[in-house]
Amino acid sequence: MDAHASILITGGGGMLADALKRALAARRRAFVAPPRGELDITNDEQVRRAFRESRPTLVLNTAAHTKVDLCEEEPAKADEINGHAVGRLAAAAKEYGAKLLHVSTDFVFDGTSRRPYREDDPTNPLSAYGRSKLLGEQKLREVDPPGWLIVRTAWVYGPNGACFPRTMVNAAKAGKPLKVVDDQVGSPTYTRELADAILALVDTGAAGVLNVANAGQVSWYGFTAAILEEFALKAELSATTSAEWKKLRPNSAVRPAYSVLDTSKYTAATGRRMRPWHEALRDYRIAVEENGGL
């Protein structure tokens, strides 16, 4: 990565953006990361102004509508933020000759695979969120800015923002019983690991579609048990099924039963391996404690 490169981070107030800002600052890289109030990627004029003022050579798009269940109620809004706005960013990146790295999701798959998903496996999203994120990938490909990169990741959590571990820890501390699905399997991915991996891909000049997630796999129930153990918390934890959960919350999104990502292409591109998810969870707990706890 060019030390003098101008880097624009969209979604500047988000969890992943926070990790990217931290990683870039450690590398002494200049960047701008305007919050949504200053850069709404669905707003043409704000996008044009951001490019005009920062003249980026690299754009890291972390802006997204990530509330999966809410996307079911707001599919048009999800399509605009996660889909059409990516095309808008791609067009601006092409005009300025900037590389655009767009963060996508394991939810573009339907979960029927018997092995970790590879980048070239057929997509078939089950939810409005997944369809909107796939639309964003398609818009980016259509515009085809120079050296574009799509990073598909999964089950993202971090110390700065609302996320699954934070929710489980706070619920356990409040003495609430936890009922968690045990038939959805994926790879929890820590934002700080993801940010380092993203910058490693940029450093190598990688392009196209690559999967990046922490290694290993676990169900949401297993992940919850690990979170409780890591934070030395006790709670009434029980398993449920996706079908039972859907009966209780009929408007919730359908999620893939299996969405583990094959990251061998990332390893080939960077010479690095993603750490096991349970090791990253330990670092999350340490970072949370350093920040004063949840």
Show which residues are catalytic. 129
The answer to whether residues 218 and 254 touch, using CB atoms and an 8 Å cutoff, is no
Report the run of H or E that residue 226 belongs to, with start and end. Answer: helix 220-230
What token pair was written down for 37?
Answer: 């109030």
Return the residue matching tokens 């598909």: 152
Query: Which of these, 61, 65, 104, 102, lies nearest to 81 by C-alpha position?
Result: 65
Q: Looking at residue 111, what DSSP letter applies?
A: S
Q: What are phi and psi of 293, to 5 degrees?
A: 90, 175
**How far is it, in rounded angstroms, from Cα 94 to Cα 238?**
50
- Judging by beta carbons within 10 Å of its beta carbon (0-12, 13-18, 19+), is residue 254 exposed, middle or buried? middle
DSSP string, 9-73: EESTTSHHHHHHHHHHHHTT--EE---TTT--TT-HHHHHHHHHHH--SEEEE------HHHHHH
For the CA atoms of 22, 26, 28, 33, the dihedral, rounded to the nearest 10 degrees, stands at 0
Q: Looking at residue 180, what DSSP letter applies?
A: E
Q: Alpha carbon 110 to chain centroid distance?
A: 17
